[in-house]
Structure 1
Amino acid sequence: MERLIEELGFSEQTIATAVNQEFVRSKDRGETLLVEDDTIEIVTPRQGG
């Protein structure tokens, strides 16, 4: 998962991640393997008002 995050350009940002609707902690991303048909969510914080 960590490689995908880097390839998508999110490596320098604060993000939240999930695979198949299960939260993945930042320290676990390097150990999280992805397989075909996994659903990956990457969420970035936004300010609003």
Structure 2
Amino acid sequence: MSIVYNTIFINGQAFNCAKSMSLKELLLYLEFDLSLIIIEYNNNIVNSCEFQNIFFNPQDQIEIITIVGGG
């Protein structure tokens, strides 16, 4: 069985991912701590409980914002 890929854009950079990959799977693959990021998907902020329900279409755009603590 061959894998079908979509080209999406992550923070403006082209990225090929499997069509069957969810947003949550992608973020874990990229080794993000899901509790420390905010995701904008096609210009909409996504609640983390929805990550597993989002699958990509070609040309989708994702912005990943990392929360950094400090003092």
TM-score, normalising length: structure 2 = 0.59
Deviation beyond 3 Å, 4+ runs, structure 1: none
Name whichever structure is richer in strand by fraction.
Answer: 2
Tell me, yes or no, if structure 1 residue 17 matches structure 2 residue 42: no
State the percentage of identical aligned residues.
29
Give TM-score, length-normalised by structure 1.
Answer: 0.81
**RMSD over aligned Cα atoms:** 1.8
Specify every segment of 5 or more residues in structure 2 that has no aligned partner in the other structure, as ranges: 1-22
> Gapped runs of 5+ residues in structure 1?
none
Partner of 2:57: 35
Q: Indicate the structure (1 or 2) with the bigger Cα radius of gyration.
A: 2
Structure 2 distance, partners of 1:18, 1:26, is 11
1:40 and 1:5 map into 2 onto residues whose CA distance is: 11
Partners of 1:12 and 1:20 lie apart in 2 by 19
Q: How many residues align?
A: 49
